Structure 1
Amino acid sequence: MYSIHNILFVYWLALCSNNAFSAQSDSIYYYDAVNKIEYHLPGAIEDTLKINDAVEGYYGSMGNVSIFDLELPLPLGNDSMFTGHELAENDFDMLSYPIRAVARINAYYDPGGYGCSAVLIDDNFLLTSGHCILREGKRDIWPDSVVIRFAFNDSAVPYSIGEGISKEYFIFQKWAKWGGYDGDFALLKLPYSIGNYIGWLGYGFSEIDTFYYNSVFHRFSYPGTYGFDFIDMYYSYGTFKSYNGILLASGNRKIPGESGSGFFETDNERFTVYGGLTLQDGAPKISRDQFYTIQEIINANPAEPYAEKEIELFVYPNPTSDYLYIRPLFKFNKIISLNIQTVTGQEIYLSEEEKIYGGDKIILNVSGLNAGLYFLKTIIDNNSYLNQVIITN
């Protein structure tokens, strides 16, 4: 298992070992939410001779690949270059690739939270917007955790996929320090492998502007306002009409919740993300230096096989005064029971045994308990897990 110090050393070693490259990229802020430690890392060494490059994606062991329209949509009017929002489930199997590699994410802070979209670009890494993790105007406040719900739709996560939690974040300095929209990207590291099962999209860059004006791009997202409610996945496709040196313009209004949704190009065999939506009505493209830095980070942080990872639980909110939510990480088909004890060991709640699947959420009403410290004991297949819970009035 990699410790954070091992990861940082391997990352630094990778940056120093490739003498074929000749330019330094934008640096990276890394945050470990478990230990609440922030690191400032150098960017990768980039190949200045290349004007485009890409890393291939992977369909995953689930198979079942969707087919996309490769022709540009008819003129849409109102200066728009992308189609309107259509429910993804109307045109696609929600368990097909690459739809199942798209995620709704929720970053949890103390207090509050923030919702965005994201896409898996490697076995254990998602790409989203930097401002989904470090908010504009509050770039010194990191989230305690980010809950990731793959293929979330109609208020639910598919049982066969489940969800996960990230507590390790990588953000480009251009956004983290200066708020530059062309650096508004973040990588979320998952604690173990999921991409080998559901697949991931490739990622790439191109410095040929006409590529963005003449190619068809697709995106899946979770709009949350202006008539949308952040509980369904939506799809749109089209192309870009201009680039001002910072953002690509499509003529479409960006809706809160869509931030972080990656736009990808495909020939229905390979699927490659080239950028994502930001706070503005535009989209930053992955630059050459960002591409090589993303590649180095991913290469230095290999995924741990799912089978080797101990069961982890996400218990929130904590403290709480009314409801307590218990979610397991990723895929489960387990027998679970819960009990709550006082600090003296008195058992005041015991649940019946039940079967739980990936994506299920157990809700406990604790509003009747007196304020104080309690212990939540979760038993999964005869293994016990203990969490401290604080109840407030």
Structure 2
Amino acid sequence: MAIVARKSPAASKIGAPKSQAPSRSARGKSPDIADLTREQDLTAYREMLLIRRFEEKAGQMYGMGLIGGFCHLYIGQEAVVVGMQMATKEGDQVITGYRDHGHMLACGMEAKGVMAELTGRRGGLSKGKGGSMHMFSKEKHFYGGHGIVGAQVSLGTGLAFANIYRKNDNVSLTYFGDGAANQGQVYESFNMAELWKLPVIYIIENNRYAMGTSVSRASAQTDFSKRGISFNIPGEQVDGMDVRAVYAAGQRAVQWCRDGKGPYILEMQTYRYRGHSMSDPAKYRSKDEVQKMREERDPIEQVRKRLLEHWKVSEDELKAVDGKVREIVNEAAEFATNDPEPDPSELWTDILN
């Protein structure tokens, strides 16, 4: 159920001719949303629903003791990675932090392999040795899943440098959160990327809380789209709960990079429904706040409503989509529960000296 890259044009850009990316002075929140086709909306719905159902099942399995260590769920943020993947092409790379299951699925990695890695089984995408925080797929151009806060930003910048070195037109999509945005290596990467005009999109998933601390208490500059100003990197704020807005912004940023103009920053204003990790009761915010976001801004419900009302998709068709997604997730859970654990000899493989 991998998203297929599409070439439909982005929505018109405010303050810039259609043939150009936004100027380097373009800042602030863009209202642009893409006009998706019926099939694009259906694809986005399937992909986001797969992530949602997968994460719900992962949460259940964690509670049953089948998943050990840390487990960070992506529930509520699905539109960010799905919309961005719609704007990419084969060869573009993805790298992110430890809230990574959704990114893997959106990149086309099999649910069985992802879930088996969570449970530490042989069929996992890192042979059961990486767990939730460390999964990779060279085939799908997914370079992790990283447990060290902010570490993926410099690595994603390195991927962009490799693209320049190899003289291809691939773009590195480097995801990190509002908490990681305050790490020093992020700004070293910004400087290097702009200096060498590297094709990297820095996607800041601002879900409002860095672990248990709200953005307003942890960041002197809460408009993360402005974090690149001193390096002359353009940025914009995007409604990360609307897959159409993400897709439109993604197209603008990708085109900017492919045109050789250097890095671009997208601040995705999103929201996570669960705690920072499965061990976090999230008492630092009210239940009313979470419920209000679920009822008014849920990314999947927005698309579902559009499919029903605008595209006249039947309830039965959407139920069939949900049924297929649940089948995929249940099969993944069954496989991840019964697949053998790695042989002890695996302790000595894949070690770099």
Q: Pick the TM interval, shorter chain.
A: under 0.3
- Which structure has more strand as a fraction of its residues? 1
- Which structure has more helix as a fraction of its residues? 2
Give the TM-score of the pair, scaled to structure 2. Answer: 0.25
Query: RCO higher in 1 or 2 (8 Å CA, sep ≥ 6)?
Result: 2
